[in-house]
Each structure stands twice: as structure tokens, then as C-alpha cells.
Amino acid sequence: MTRIRLVLAKLRALIHNGRDDAELAEELAAHIDLLADDLVRGGLKPQEARRQARLRLGGPQQVVLLTRDQRGIPWLEHLARDVRLAVRSLWRSPLFGVTAILSLAVGVAANTVGFAYLYGYLIRPLPFTDGSRLVTVLTTAPSRGMDRWAVTLQELGDIQSRTRSFDAISARSVASVDLTGSDEPRRLMASVVSPDLHRQLGIRPLFGRVFDAGDGRGSAGPVVLLGEKLWRASFGADQRIVGRSVTLNRRPYTVVGVLPANEGFSDYADLWLAVGPEEVAQPRDRRYRLVAHLAPGATIASANRELEVLSAALAKAYPDDNTGVRLFAEDLRADLLDENRAPVLVLYGVVSLVLLLACANVATLLVMRSASRSGEFAIRASLGAGRFQIVRQILVEHAVVTLAGGALGVVVGVWVRDLLVALTPPTTGPFRFTLDLPGTALLCGAVLACAFLFGALSAWTITRQSFGVPRRTGRDASAGLDRARIRTGLAVFEVAAAVLVLVATGLLLKGALTVASQPPGFDAGNVLTMEINLPEGSRYQEPAQAVQFFRDLTARIRVLPQVEGVSAINPPQIFGWSIAYEAGGMRKGPAGQRPRTMDAVVMPGYFQTLRIALLEGRDFAEADTRPASAPVIVVSQAFARATWPGESAIGRRVRLLRRQGGDTPWREVVGVVGDVRVSTFAPERGWVYVPHGQPAFTELVLMIRFTGDHAALVRHVRRLVWEVEPALPLHWNELFADMIARRYWQPRAYSLVFSVFAALALAVALIGVYAVVSYTSARRTREFGIRLAVGSPPSNVWQLVLRQGLRLAVVGTAIGMVAAFGVMRFAAAVLFGVSPTDGWVYATCGALAVAAVLLATATPAWRAARIDPVTVLRCE
Amino acid sequence: MADKSDVLQGTLDLIVLKTLDVMGPLHGYGLARRIEHVAEQALALNQGTLYPALVRLEQRGWIKSAWGVSDNGRRARFYNVTRAGRRQLHAETESWRKTSSIMARFLEVDHT
């Protein structure tokens, strides 16, 4: 009871401090009056009586101070006073305050953005039931050209029945389906999933229900889950859709529910189908990705031991499908992250350096500023301020700057993050880049820890210099070497960190620019893409019929007035996987070490339509598409160079090794075409082209070069297609250039972001170097004055200052380069083929850093040379 | 340093409470004069140290204060013991007696 009352009284006192002080002063005055009255009565003169009274009381001011400490919470009041003092002193030198706060804000903002991605990709639990126990199971078979490949339903069944490492395990795959019966036939992407998938992961429908076990047996007829986007676009966002029937692939499906956009797994999917009897009838189809929950007590390692044993058993049970196939489990997050992991880590490394730089900067600026205040500190120390009080004041000043800069930085950072998120397509899978509470706490903790570390360092430096030589303001010019060490250390660190960031960015940019500066090898502008997928089991069962259909269609499109050229390809050259091959006249490596290439099936005229140069030999002719024609192939220049260096490829023989096994014919090379770089950020890859008809596909992507209006052309082509095959769904209908941009936004975004951060890092580091050099030369004013007075030419003085800057620059740059040398090896994956030790980049970045540092020292050097010796010496 | 002030604090608080209890409402100066009078020069009181003690006691709710007019017509702040203060005084007096009697006994033993 007494305690609570005490706390309340103290809190009340904090607020009413001024009023209480006034009352106490009045009370003490009364005390002195009363005491003096008594003393006068005792025979003293009034003046002497008052003097005695004050003496006996012990000085009213001291009593007020003592009582105030008793009344309130002393440390809180001191803190408040220090904060007021800090704000006032920052206000007096706005340049320092603004520079420190802005450079910190830049660092924190950069870090907030980087951290949001790092956290979203690598730390934040996946938004699924028991997200931390989620794994996937993949296959690898070097002899079959399978690396991190898909799983069959046959394997899934065996994993479920013969291992105990997994609690629940679901499969998912992709399929194209045709939606007909409504306004216009459409080609849609379906995610084909185990009926339990959504329940296992805790994904809830917008309304309706998700699949259940009955849907997998197909007992109530086939069912479908619609995606929110499709539901809004094609079904008018009508909730009564549940229970109705839609026509997919010419069969009725009952809608059971609608899944929200961003459900977390299949952002590309328009709708979901359950793995049903049709899929189960094809147990050897290698097309499924698995999602599994580890059983309690199981680890990825223990699961892998079980899978190892299972793989061997399966190889015996199904020699055709499973010889050489190894099943292995992997953290689901790692699998989903895939190629994003390295860039995110590098990005966060870069922004962390920017933050460190900013913190070092604030520390340096603080130390520099305190130099001009060493007189003030010395006076305060001689007036009785303890060392602790001065350190506390410096720390408080630092904290004020940190909090202001940090808060500004977080606000700007969150805003930039939102901007980036808005710019990127919403295909980030289960990763979310908003900072939740733990994320924010982690970020703020890191920033505060970093800031406090540097604050303590600068406070230590400052007190050492203030107390080492008390009251000798500005005269310790020759005794400064020892104390300057930390300051110099900070500056060297800043230069080194900036060089590291510069080199990292330089390497990334060089990779991007080198590839971008080479011609792409084709012209994607004004090329319309249109996917056509002939219905299975209809009139196109025979390969010749499919070939005939596409030949007729392209012939009809070609005569349209706005069409300049037309052909078709599968897969379009922004997709595809590599395939192993053998070539005549090439030494055979062991299985699994076979060379790989990208491959595509094209119709005659493809190279001409895409404006890919024909370097040697000939394009495919109509004769090559006939059923019994001799097997031929066209290869790219890169392929030819890699396979037969220094020799002509024409007339050589190549055999592609199909993933599913089986024999494919030896083909004769009839042409060599130019290389195609679709992603300007990817290294060059070899391609080989096989004519349509050898083999024939029912699915091809039309490539139409046109002039004029895009929408009108789509209408014309659609009419032509439907004249031959009514109600055939058409997919994509977009410009090839747009498709490329959509597919490759990420590397572009990365290199843009990296360049911005590198520029920021350099700017922040330069501020730091400027601060250190101008501070040091300011402290040597007296020395320079003496030098000038005894006849040293001004050029000597500014050379002294420049030499100091040069020393900082060279040492810092050297350290930064060594660090970059060590660190960038780990980032080789994102360098687009540039060597992590590229000499040109290192040299340029080093020169740039040294030049920038010298530039930063130019002003202090100039100032030093203009010192008037008479003024300096008179100041003493 | 802390130990010494704590002991003094404890005794000063007890002295102030006892004096106010015996004398009734007093202002700060009256309190100081009264304490000096009772102690008969044995206690050199720095009168200023009274005020932190008064704040302390008031914040704990053992005394209360109000502005009034002194005998010779000056405005002054008067302090008085509260009921909680009396309880505290009682308890403190008991424990002080016990302590001093134990101490006395020990010191006697030491003498003989």
C-alpha cells in the first residue's frame, strides 16, 4: 500500500516538478525568515542574522536539489534533461544533425527493404499448418538427365506405405485445361493436387469447401475449385457458382469452392483439380512435386536414410522406371526459394554494409563534432561533471540522432518496400514481405544494437580525448596520434566497406551489362505469340494430321495483309529444360557427365520470323516435316563451338537423349544459326532445333511477326483458327517481348536495386571520410600555423592533409578489396558468368574509391593551406 | 556512504515522527528548533536535511502538510502526523527499543 502510494507520489512529482520547487523555495524562505527573526531576537544585526540563517540551513539551492532527488525519480529527470540538452545542441549545429540523421535514415531504410525480403524468404515461417516441418521429396538420376526432378504416383504410393518419416504427404502437378461453354473458349492453367493437400496445409477456401478424400475417388463425378481471379473475371464473382457445373476439356465438372488469390502455393493456377482415377491410371507419369510434413521425431536426415533404402528397393521393383533414380527429401522452403536464395543473401549483405557504414558515419560525425566541444567538456568536467555524466550526455545525443534517423529510415524503408512489392508480379508463392511483429522486433533490435555499439565507441573516444589533456583546448596537436587511432580506424572501415559494396555491385553490373551489350540474336518486337493445343483423341491422333493442321493454319495466317512472317515452336525459347546429347566425333564422357543443351521443335520459317541469323547450311524445308523424312537438326553457334571447336558442324551427327529413356535417332546437322539470348542477364546457352513432324506435337506456339494493330490481328487469327477447329481455346495472345519482360523481371530488378544501394553506400562513406579528414586537419590548425609561420609554403600544408586522405583511401581500399575477394566467391551464382575476381572491376572500383576519398579531402586541404598563422598563434 | 545515510535517514525519520507526534503541527523551522532543543547540542543538525526527510515521509503518507501562519505572523508550511504515521511510529519505536536494549546488553557483557 505504502509502496504504491510512493510510486504514485513520485510520478506525480515528475509532472509537477516546477510547482513543487516553487513551493519548496517559498517554504525555505519562510524557514530563513523565522530563523533570522530568532537570531535578531538573540541580539544579532538583521544582515548578520540572515547570513547565519542561510548557513545553518545549508544553502537553499542545495536543499532544493537534495529534496528534488528525494521527491522524484532522479535518473529519469536527468535523462529528460540530457535529451533536452541533446536536442538543443543538435538544433544549434543543424548541419551535423541533418547529416547524421539522413545518413542513418538511408542506412536504416536500405536495411528495412533488404530485411523485409530476407525475412520473408528465409526466416518467416511459411503460412501453412506446421510450416516448419514441411519438406519436399525430389528425384535425381544423372544417367537419365534428371536433376531435382519430379516424382511419380507409383513412388508416392511406396513412400506412403514403406516409410515412416512423413506424417502426411501430398502431390501437386500442372495441367492445361480448356474451359468452354461460357462466353469464349479459354485455355487455363490447372493445378492438379492430391485431395488432401489443402487440408494438410490449412489452406481455407474463400467460400464453399476444399477437396476431400471422396473427390479423389471421383465417386460424385469430377469436381473443381476455382481460383479467385478466374471466378471474378469469368464468373462475375457470383457466390452461387458453388454446386454448378462448368465444362473443362469437354467434360462437366462440379464447382465445390473458390480459393483465395495468393493461396500460397500455385499463384499461376486458374483452377484446381483433384488427382483422380485418370491420373492414378498413369502411375509412371513423372510430373508430381510433393509436399510432406515430417513425422514427430523425424528429421530430413532420417527421412533421407529411409529414402535411400527405398530408392534401392524401387530400382529392383521397377527397373525400367527407377534404375539409377535416387529419392531425397529437402526443406520445402529451400526448394521453393531455388534461385532467389543467393540474390537475397547478397542483397542483405549489401544493405547491412550500408547500415554499418551509416552507423560508423554517425559515430565519426559525433567524434568530429566533439572535437570542437572538447573545451566545453573540459569546463564541465572542471565544474564537477563526472566522467559518467559526460559519457551519458554523449550517449543520449547519439541516441537522439539514432532514434530520429532510425524512425525516418523505417518509415521510408517500408514505403520503398511497398513500392517494390507493388512493382513485382504477385507470384511470390508462400513468401510475404510485410514485416510482422517478430520481424519488426528483429530489425529494430539489429539496428539498435549496431547503433549502440558505435555510440559506445564514439563516447569512449571522446572521453579519452577530453580527459587525457584537460583544459588544453586545441593544443594537443602533436599528442594526437594515439587518440586518432580509433577515428582513423572508423574512416578506414568506412572506405573498406564502401569498396566492398562497390566491388559487389560492380561485378553484378558488369555481368548484366556484358550480356546486355551483346546482340540478343533475335527480334522479339512485334511478334505475337499464341498457344494452340489440339484436343487429344480427336482428328489429330496421327502425327501427320497435326502437322497438316499447323501447316494449313500458318499458310492461311501468312496471307493476312499485316502479317510479315509466321512459324511455330515448342517450347518457346523462354522456357524449356536442358537435355543430354551425344555427338559424332566427340569424346564420350561417363553417363551423367554428358553435355547438355536446350532443345525445341520448330516449323520451317522460324529463324526468318524471329530474325535469327542463318550462319551456315539451310533452314528446315517442308520436306523435313514429312513422316518418313531423314532425321535432321539445326544447331546454334554456341552449340557448334562447344561440340566441334574450330570445325564446321554441317554434316555432323547429333543424338538427343530423351528424359523418359527410349531411343531417338541420330540426326544430321543441316544448318547453324545465331545464338539466342532471351534473358539479357543469363549466360549464353546452346540450342538445337528439330523440325516439327520429327516428332509431331499437338501443341505449338504460333509466332507471328506483324505490323499495325495487335488486337485486330488477334481477332483475325482467332477467326482463322475457329474456321478450321471451332471453339478451340487460344492461350496467351501476347507480344513475345512482353512475355520475356514478365519472365525476367527479377534479375533486372536486382541489378537496379544493387546499383542504387552501391551509390548510397559510396555517398555515405564519403561523408564519413570527409568528416574524419576535416576533423583531423582542424585539430592540427596550430601545427599548420606554426609551419606556415616558420616559412613552410602553403602547398606543403595541403599536401600533408591530402597525404592523410590518400593513406586512408589506400589502406581502406586494400582491406575492402581483400574482403570482396573473400566474400564474392560465395555470390558467384548471381554474377551472370562474370568471374568473382574480375580484375577490371576491382581496378575500376579501387580507382573510383581513392578518387572519391581524395575529393572529400580537397576541402579540408584547401582550408588548411589558407590558415593565417598570425590569427592562429594569437588565439593561444 | 549509502550505509551511513541509511542509518541517519532511519533515525531522522523516527525523530521527526516522534517530535510531530508529541508537539502537534509544526513548521519546518519549528521542527528543527525543537529537535535541536531536545538533543541539547548533542546533534549537529544541518537544518536543510530536514526537508528531504519531510518529502519522504509525506510521500509515504505518514505526515501531511498545509500552509498556515506562524506565531509571529509569517506564512509557513505546517506538518502533522497521520494515522498511518502514528502506526509507523509505534512500530519503529518498538523495534528501536528492542535494538537498543539488545545492544545495551551486549555492551554490558563486554564491560564485565
Pick from B29, B46, B55: which is nearest to A34 by CB? B29
Best mean pLDDT range from A114-128, A192-206, A402-416, A466-480: A192-206
Per-residue pLDDT, A195 = 92
Q: Name the closest residue on chain B to residue A37, using Cα atoms.
A: B72
Interface contact A31-B28, CB threshold 8 A: yes
C-alpha cell at A759: 551509390
Is the predicted pLDDT of residue A551 greater than 50, yes or no? yes
Cβ contact (<8 Å) for A62 and B74? no
Q: What is the DSSP string of A502-550?
A: HHHHHHHHHHHHHHHHS--SS--TTEEEEEEEPPTTSTT-SHHHHHHHH
Q: What is the mean pLDDT of chain A?
A: 80
**Whether the Cβ atoms of residue A676 and residue A687 lie closer than 8 Å to each other:** yes
Q: What is the predicted pLDDT for the residue at B47? A: 77
Please report the pLDDT score of residue B7 as a whole number.
42
Interchain proximity B77–A33, CB inside 8 Å: no
State yes or no: ipTM above 0.90: no
Distance from CA of B109 to the nearest CA of A (A): 39
- Say whether pLDDT at A860 is over 50: yes
Q: How far is residue A279's CA from residue A284's CA, in Å, rounded to a whole number?
A: 10
Q: Which residues of B touch A37 (CB under 8 A)?
A: 72, 74
> What per-residue confidence (pLDDT) applies to A145?
65
Per-residue pLDDT, A587: 57
Does position A749 have pLDDT exceeding 70, yes or no?
Answer: no
CA torsion sign, A84 to A86 to A87 to A89?
positive
A314 has pLDDT over 90:
yes
Question: Quick check: B59 and A13 CB within 8 A?
Answer: yes
A61 in contact with B, Cβ within 8 Å: no
Name the pLDDT band for A737 (thresholds 50, 70, 90): confident
- pLDDT confidence band for A814 (50 / 70 / 90): very high
CATH number of the domain where residue B68 is located: 1.10.10.10
- The answer to whether residue A600 scores a pLDDT higher than 60 is yes
Q: How near does any CA of chain A get to the CA of B102, in Å?
A: 29
Confidence grade of residue A603 (pLDDT, cut at 50, 70, 90): very high
Q: CB B74 to CB A30 under 8 A?
A: yes
Q: Which residue of B has its CA nearest to A8?
A: B59
Share of chain A above pLDDT 90, in %: 18
Between A94 and A403, name the one with better pLDDT.
A403
User: With 70 as the cut, is the pLDDT of residue A586 above it?
Assistant: no
Q: Is the pLDDT of residue A755 over 90?
A: no
User: Are the beta carbons of A66 and B49 separated by less than 8 Å?
Assistant: yes
Instruction: Give the mean model confidence (pLDDT) for residues A560-586.
Output: 82
Query: Residue A662 pLDDT > 80, yes or no?
Result: no
Verify whether the Cβ–Cβ distance A34 to B74 is below 8 Å: yes
Burial tier of A167 (Cβ tally within 10 Å: 0-12, 13-18, 19+): middle
**pLDDT tier at A111, thresholds 50, 70, 90:** confident
Per-residue model confidence (pLDDT) at position B5: 39
Beta carbons of B72 and A34 less than 8 Å apart: yes
The count of other CB atoms within 10 Å of the CB of residue B94 is 10
Pairing state between β A134-141 and A146-149: antiparallel
Q: Read off the pLDDT band of A369 (50, 70, 90).
A: confident
The average pLDDT across A180-203 equals 84
Q: Is the pLDDT of residue A539 over 80?
A: no
More confident residue, B95 or A487: B95
Whole-angstrom CA distances from A349 to A497, A505, A758 are 11, 11, 12
* The three three-digit cell numbers of residue B42, written as one number: 548533542
Which pLDDT tens digit goes with each residue over B5-36? 334 556 888 888 999 998 889 988 888 888 88
Average pLDDT for A57-63: 77
Candidates B52, B60, B74; nearest CB to A5:
B60
Whole-angstrom Cα distance, residue A609 to residue A617? 18
Angle at A407 between CA A751 and CA A417, to 5 degrees: 30
Predicted pLDDT of residue A478: 42
Look up the domain containing B82 and give its range.
2-111
User: CA nearest B88 in A: which residue?
Assistant: A2
Residue A473: is its pLDDT beyond 70? Answer: no
Confidence check: pLDDT of A456 > 70: yes
The predicted structure's pLDDT at residue A744: 64
Reading the block at residue A693, the C-alpha cell is 513432324
By the CB < 8 Å criterion, does A11 face chain B? no
CA A36 to chain B, closest CA, distance in angstroms equals 11
On the question of pLDDT at A862 being above 90, the answer is: no
Cβ distance B52 to A70 less than 8 Å, yes or no, reads: yes
**What are the beta bridge partners of residue A533?**
A699
- Phi (first) and psi of residue A129, to 5 degrees: -55, 130
Q: What are the φ and ψ backbone dihedral angles of A757, each rounded to 5 degrees?
A: -65, -35
* pLDDT at res. A476: 44
Stronger pLDDT, A416 or A230, i.e. the higher one: A230
Min Cα distance A41 → chain B (Å) is 12
Give A659's pLDDT tier (boundaries 50, 70, 90): low
Give A598's pLDDT tier (boundaries 50, 70, 90): confident
Look at residue A597 and tell me whether its pLDDT is greater than 50: yes
Query: Mean pLDDT across the stretch A455-469?
Result: 65
Residues of A in contact with B49 (CB under 8 A): 58, 66
Residue A513 predicted with pLDDT over 80 = no
Chain A residues with beta carbon closer than 8 angstroms to that of B28: 27-28, 30-31
Q: Which of B51, B58, B75 to mutate to test the interface with A (most CBs of A within 10 A)?
A: B51
The helix/strand count (H/E) of chain A reads as 29, 22
Interchain CB distance below 8 Å, A67 and B52: yes
Q: Quote the pLDDT of residue A537.
A: 64
Residues in chain A with CB shorter than 8 Å from the CB of B47 are 31, 35, 56-58
A782 falls in which pLDDT band (50, 70, 90)? confident
> Quick one: average pLDDT of A466-481?
44
pLDDT per position as a tens digit, A269-292 = 889 999 988 888 888 888 898 999
Residue of chain B nearest A71, judged by CA positions: B55
Q: Kindly state the average pLDDT of the residues A146-171.
A: 90
Residue A353: pLDDT above 70? yes
**Best interface-test mutation with B: which of A7, A19, A31 has the largest number of B CBs within 10 A?**
A31
Kindly indicate the confidence band of residue B2, based on its pLDDT and cuts at 50, 70 and 90: very low
A480-500: average pLDDT: 72
Q: How confident is the model at residue A170 (pLDDT cuts 50, 70, 90)?
A: very high
| Per-residue pLDDT at A435 | 75
A59 interfacial to chain B (CB closer than 8 Å): yes
Q: Work out how many domains chain B is built from and give that number.
A: 1
pLDDT value of residue B4: 35
Whether A663 shows a pLDDT value over 70: the answer reads no
User: For A786-813, what is the mean pLDDT?
Assistant: 84
Contact A607, A619 (CB under 8 A): yes
pLDDT of residue A324: 86
pLDDT for residue B103? 85
Q: What is the pLDDT of residues B45-88, one digit of tens each?
A: 777 788 888 888 888 889 998 888 888 788 888 999 999 999 99
- pLDDT classification of A306: cutoffs 50, 70, 90: very high
